[in-house]
Chain A
Amino acid sequence: GAGVSQTPSNKVTEKGKYVELRCDPISGHTALYWYRQSLGQGPEFLIYFQGTGAADDSGLPNDRFFAVRPEGSVSTLKIQRTERGDSAVYLCASSLNEQDNEQFFGPGTRLTVL
C-alpha cells in the first residue's frame, strides 16, 4: 500500500519568500507529525496533529512557521519570510492513532533557502 508521501521532494527558494510543504499520510492514520532534520543531526519535532487539531505545536521554532490539517488527512507546513537557517529536510510521519507509537516516515522535502 501507499506510504507517506511528501511534495515537493526538493524546494529552493530565496530568503524572505513564503513556502508550503505538503504531506499525505497513510490512509486511515489519524496522527500526523512534522519534524525537521538539519545536516548531521537527528530529526527534531515541530508539530503534531491528532485529526484536524494541532495537539502539540511546542516544537515550532517561531511564529513564521505554521501548519494546518483542515480535513484530518493532508497537512501543509507553511513557512513565512524564509531565512537561510530554515534550510533542512522537513520530514512528515503518521501513525494509526495517538496510542500507536509506530510512526511511518515520508521521504522528506529538502528545503534550501538561498
Chain B
Amino acid sequence: GNSVTQMEGPVTLSEEAFLTINCTYTATGYPSLFWYVQYPGEGLQLLLKATKADDKGSNKGFEATYRKETTSFHLEKGSVQVSDSAVYFCALSDGLTGANSKLTFGKGITLSVRP
C-alpha cells in the first residue's frame, strides 16, 4: 500500500535559517504529492502540491520538487520566519484517474523558529 515517511522531528531553527524537511514515499501508479501545514490552533491547510514528476510546487517561499527517481518530495525554504512555526505534513493521493483521492499522510514534523 501507499506510505509516506518524514524525517524525525522536532526541528528548531533560528530566523532566516535555511530549511529542509525530508519526505519520501511509496506508491503504486503516479500519485500526486502535497505538503500540508497546521499552524498553532488552526486546521490543516494545503501549502503546496505537485501532480507529476519533475513538477515544482511553491507557495509562501516554500518549494518542493516531485522526484520520481528518488521517490521524494522534500520541502525547502531559503529563509524561515517565526511565523513559519507549525507542524508540516507530507502526503500523497492515489494517481488512479477518476478514483477517490484519499490522502495518505506522514507523521508530521514540528518546526519551531526562534527570533
Cα separation A102 to B106 with both chains bound (whole Å) = 17
A41 CB contacts on chain B under 8 angstroms: 107-108
Task: Convert A30-63 into 0s and 1s, putting 1 for each residue whose CB lies closer than 8 angstroms to a CB of B.
Answer: 0101010000111111001010000110010000
Given contacts A41-B107, A41-B108, A45-B104, contact A101 B32 (CB under 8 A): yes
- Asked if A107 and B101 make an inter-chain contact with CB atoms under 8 angstroms apart, the answer reads no
A56 CB contacts on chain B under 8 angstroms: 100, 102
B32 CB contacts on chain A under 8 angstroms: 101
Binding site for A on B (CB under 8 A): 4, 32, 34, 36, 42-46, 49, 51, 89, 91, 93, 98-108
Binding site for B on A (CB under 8 A): 4, 31, 33, 35, 40-45, 48, 50, 55-56, 59, 91, 93, 95, 98-108
11 extra interchain contacts, Cβ-Cβ under 8 A, other than A48-B102, A93-B103?
Answer: A33-B103, A42-B105, A42-B107, A43-B44, A43-B89, A45-B103, A98-B100, A101-B32, A101-B49, A102-B46, A103-B101
